[in-house]
Structure 1
């Protein structure tokens, strides 16, 4: 399990299979229940004005309908589901929690590996 106490915390690996679904669990510390959560793909800038590829975030429609996000505030974990996995889905992702300036967002690295 990982903690969101600083800007970036430990990473985890998730295995997915082409055409199937995968769930990415992103636990977080108390105090972040009302913050916006999101999944960022690839290099994710820690700067608020930096470039970010965000396929899904809480409170809005996903850019790609294969992605969905559910936040269980009682358990303090948000879960991102990716359906119909494709080869291009493999790679680096980040579970992100938005914080107000001057604080940077909180990230946990996720490596999605796709097996045939």
Structure 2
């Protein structure tokens, strides 16, 4: 096996989530008591795989909490949307979009901030996505 191939294999094994075909917004903010939508895009090869959302940093210690979280997978758009309901200050933190697969699961890090109250600067129907990012509530 060539040196280059060995290096690539070692990198893939040691850095799970860093070399994946999974993207999303790096940071989003939502208002206390409202909902927030996060769109995570994936490669066509992951269309039939199980998607998940977990909280915690580092990636290896994130925990799945489905209490106020809903996931909808849109196979035709190659994206899944995570919706967090009734945001609290405890919802702020580091989260990961994840996809189950054999070996190391790919993951994409998202930093969620919860703001104290809604302002008139942003309409309540503004939804956050991986393309637009920013503030959002549904």
Same fold, TM-score > 0.5, yes or no: yes
- Give the Cα–Cα distance (whole angstroms) in 2 for the partners of residues 5 and 29 of structure 1: 14
> TM-score w.r.t. structure 2 length?
0.65
Q: List runs of 5+ in structure 1 lacking aligned partners.
A: 46-50, 56-61
Count of residue correspondences:
98
Higher relative strand content: 1
- Give the Cα–Cα distance (whole angstroms) in 2 for the partners of residues 86 and 29 of structure 1: 32
Closer, same or farther in 2 for the Cα pair 1:99/1:84, shift >3 Å? Answer: same
Q: Give RMSD over aligned pairs.
A: 2.1
Higher relative helix content: 2
Matched, 1:6 2:16: no
Give the structure 1 partner of residue 45 of structure 2: 31
- Max Rg structure: 2
Partners of 1:40 and 1:96 within 8 A in 2: yes
Deviation of 1:5 after TM superposition, in Å, equals 8.2
> TM-score w.r.t. structure 1 length?
0.76
